[in-house]
Amino acid sequence: MKQFGFLGLGIMGTAMARNLVKAGYPVTVWNRSPGKTEELEQLGARRAISPAAAMAECDITFAMLADPAAAREVCFGADGVLSATTTGKGYVDFSTVDATTSLEISCAVTARGGRFLEAPVSGSKKPAEEGTLIILTAGDRTLYDELLPPLEKLGKKILYLGEVGNGARMKIVINMIMGGMMAALCEGIALGEKGDLNVSDILQVLDAGALANPLFRLKGGGIMADSYTTAFPLKHMQKDLRLALELGDKMVQPLPCTAAVNELFKGAKQAGLGEEDFSALFKVVRQP
């Protein structure tokens, strides 16, 4: 059986690595803060001292990192993945990054004889825990075909989108839309409250018609309960909105709504809400 590495054990990475271990795959894990490996070690995973050590030990290494800077550091930095990439090694990046970053990592890995697959995921904490993510792959088709069985332990839908960069762009577009939906929901609830409407009634009307969707159902309930347990950190949503605006500039596509939504999320981040769930945007949208 192939040996898998997993780099990055945040909210998403821990859940995904846990599902691989529980499915019986041999997994070696690494995280910048070593304490986060303990749970997985207790389940049977091994711990690597560096990304390079994981890459050297494993046939295929996965990464789930916070942003483009972290993805670059883990690949190109001292004791990074690239230093241990040899012919046939596979590297799969689940991180949400821009297409340029993904392409640079892909070119570097393949130049050393490795195989690369970008695979950003759509979904947050609960889908990661349940193995029901949507995985947006692009890159080496042979690596994709080889990885379908373990990927099916992580996601309910796995798409192959062709050339490297398509996965990154798809994820940015999806999260851009999600950020706009969250902003609209927060403003709608805030306005409804000011107009003496019951939040529960607003959510019932949304759920009964054409606007019904799992995001409004789940996050609306959390807003109503004033509960913002982090499933997807607000700071990551703001990062993804920024990536969308950068992509819009490159594609010469105006994104006026996204620009306004990004400013809302920037304000929430500056207000100290970056580590809270992105639905905590409501705290800054609601005005006394």
Known catalytic residues are: 171
Q: How many CB atoms lie within 10 A of CB 37?
A: 21
Q: Return all residues near 129 (Cβ < 8 A) that are at least 6 apart.
A: 15, 18, 19
DSSP bridge pairs for 121: 135
In whole angstroms, give the CA distance from residue 18 to residue 30. Answer: 13
How many angstroms separate the CA atoms of 112 and 226, rounded?
A: 51
- The C-alpha atoms of residue 88 and residue 175 are separated, in whole angstroms, by 33
Sequential DSSP letters for 1-63 = ---EEEE--SHHHHHHHHHHHHTT--EEEE-SSGGGGHHHHHHT-EE-SSHHHHHHH-SEEEE
Burial class (CB in 10 A: 0-12, 13-18, 19+), 198: exposed
CB 129 within 8 A of CB 15: yes
Q: Are 239 and 233 in contact (CB under 8 A)?
A: no
Tokens representing 165 are: 């960069």
Residue 135 three-state SS: strand
